[in-house]
Structure 1
Amino acid sequence: MRAAAGSTRWSAAVGLAVLAAATGGALGPPAAAEEETPPGRVEFPTQCLPSPETGLPPAEGTTEARITVDHPAPPRIGDTVTVTYRVAGTPAADAAGATAPAGVPVAAGRVLLGGAQEGEVAVTAVRPTAGAEPSDTGPDPEPAEVGPDATAEAADLVLTGTFTVTAPGEITLTPGGYTLPTGTACTPIGPSAPVAARLAAPALPRPNLRSVSLAAAHGAPGARVRVTGVGFTPGAPVTVAGRAGGAETADRAPAAADAWGRLAAELPVGDPATTAVVAYEGPVWTPQEGSRPAAYTVLDPAPAPAPAPVPTPAPPGGLSLAQAGAAITLGAVGYGAGGAAPGRIGTVTVTDTRGGPAGWTLTGRITELTGPDGVPVPGAALSWTPSCTSAEAAPAAPSAPAAPSAPGGGPDGRCTPGSPGPVGPQGAVLATGAGAPPAGGAARFTVDAALSLRLPPYTPPGAYRAVLTLTLS
């Protein structure tokens, strides 16, 4: 160790040899290049008071010190960190030949903790006990012969200690007072010494226990749904909002958690795009600060009842159809798994009064399935299983010859259902029929079909529409 400028130089020949062995090496790290300050190196004004038995005078001057921490990565709460306090220069005079019993501190000091964690670290250098294993860096150096006017510089004084990280955030380390092997006590003068080292401990991850439940899972546009929740930060402001997939909708209401982190609010739901309700702290919903979505469906307003269909009588020599109810309502599909929504078309009656062998074909095609705001549903597919029966054909004139059968239909005005399978936008055959009896004869056919609309998994809840068009030719 060297004395700071303007102070009496000192060395403890025996004491320094002991310190070198206690810290695992004779000297500190290589000196920094000229004009370069090693990390953690600071200077601060110090007053040093020797013990009375040394007969040395008090001294004031500058302490040159360096603080480093030994940890392979940013420490976490509960980790132990080793702190090294290296005194490279001191204003104190030293009494040569100072020794201490084996196994007790020959020097000590304090490192002050600040920032996220308050406290101090006790650092010491201990003389090894007799028979201790030698350092792997070589034997202890021989004590230097130091006279009254000696100018040789000795090794730095190295003190070590440990502390346990107890708080997240930045922790500062500041050099405090230290006691030399001679018993000289040195303390900073005036304000505390500058911060020499910093380390940051990350915060422990917090589980997100926020959750909400709804008093109703669906409602008409504008209905107010009661929202209750638990697991929020006590007293924190909370936003309750509608959500559609990965985005918020126009539905929003402010709320606040009580002293137990509970939430109670009413959310007016008027946006037809809303498929779920969430509650969150902060400016936007995040998985860490918000609840999981609770499913909610905005019901369509009740449609006006459709007028009862009026069958159109077929004029002589014509081909016509009538359907019992044009609107088709399919069943519901569970959210998440997807599946088929069952249904049935309104029964179709085909009347053929043309006479002759000209048969007929009834086809259907469907538009793309769309949800709220006209958003299409990829992967949706409609299939049907047609059925067809024929009524008794009206009697033909006695002198009229029998009509031949039309392709696809049976004799005497019978019809044939189309093949089961998908309908699609290109269309599919629902039924075909043979020609009606000639000379004023008439035939009637009843056509029906069971429907199955397959929806992909996780189709958002809501009402979906498509147009099924039947064409008779």
Structure 2
Amino acid sequence: MIPVARRPHGSAGRRRRWTAALGALALAVGTASLAAPAHAATAASTPVDFATRCVPPPIAGIPPITGTTTAEITVDKAAAKVGDTVTVTYTVVKPAASNPVDLALPADIMTPTGKVTLGGAQPGSVTVTGPKKNPPVPGKGAFPSFSMTGTFTVTTPGSITLSPGDYNIHTSYIMELDTPCTVITPPAPVSETVVATAQPGANDRAIQLATASGKPGDQVTVTGAKFTPLADVTVVGRAGAAETADKTTVKADANGSFTARLKVEDKATTGIVAYEGAAWSDDKGAGPGAYTVIDDTPLPENSQKLTASVAAGTLSMSQAGDAVAMSAVDFGKGGAATGDLKTVTVKDFRGGPAGWSLTGKVTDFTGPGGKIDAGRLGWTPACTTKQGSPSTCAAGSAGPVGTAGATLASTPNGAVTGGEFTVDAKVSLDVPAFTAPGAYSGVLTLTLT
């Protein structure tokens, strides 16, 4: 099982994002085997040569080998967005090493592993592995070409370069032997580039109030961040979903920040928001920040004023588990591998006018036969609203999920929103008839906004 990953996206304020890796959607198929299909190469990938030092197993009794490796890196998407999972294939076209012993090696005893070096906007590395598959290798004969695959998640917009890294050839015949090969002058030349862009529509605008209360006529300092640089920003009081008479306009600086001093006179004001444009919108606003007007009107003689307050909460989600076991299908027949998404509970205790949307996207399913396209996973969502909730939950449409994603459930904007909701879905993966037997896993990521 893969552990749940849940993280806030952007700054605290009007909108937060949570992601949950709902584990490996695993299924088992048949009992026979097929050759793994090659991953699609992109036009931008380029074979490169680099100097390599390979160390034969001690039993071979020969010194390290210095030679040239020819390799190529390909990806399943050369244009990606932040949050996307990219599948990387490292193909060693011509290894620098060869069979170090006189004994011929039979087929399917080689297991390669390696690293792909990331550079540019997102430095790092990707661990890649290959199947235990090879043609027979004569004694002292050259090792054949082989491919290894792995994945990484795009975290930063910009150009991400991919270069071949160190690799190891493990053989399992009579005894277990390793031939590690290292790049003499790292990093090796760039073979592929992924151009990553930011996810569209993300709203990271945020405001903060210097104080949470004041008497009628007091000024409150409101600071904002991550607004559009040099944009006109309206700072206004709110009573529920309606604006009050307390309003001012400021201009954001070149960094998208601002400081405003809002005079609060309307005793109905319970919160403060800031937005770009002529009117409030979820895409260009931030808040509300809670604010209480302390009524200082003199009381009649021999009377007492009683005041109670309601604190705004947060928008959150949790799930009942992180792994979905799907039904098996038969090799040669294929068909639908089905299962039930683990129940997701959404709690909206913000007390404002904004609704929410829960969306999901899935990676390709990978296994011993290569991959099953993410577009073959479909779902039929269902959503239940807890009695007494101001909002009503609507299930998303039945259909494919894919890497582009789809809506699982949502609630609309309204004068008063909030409540508790449970979200479920029937999931179905359309498995091609002659998919190689074994477990195929993909990761479904849920995002709450």
Bin for the TM-score computed over the shorter chain: 0.3 to 0.5
Greater relative CO (CA pairs within 8 A, separation 6+): 2
Q: With the length of structure 2 as denominator, give the TM-score of the two structures.
A: 0.37
TM-score when scaled to structure 1? 0.35
Structure in which a larger fraction of residues adopt strand: 2
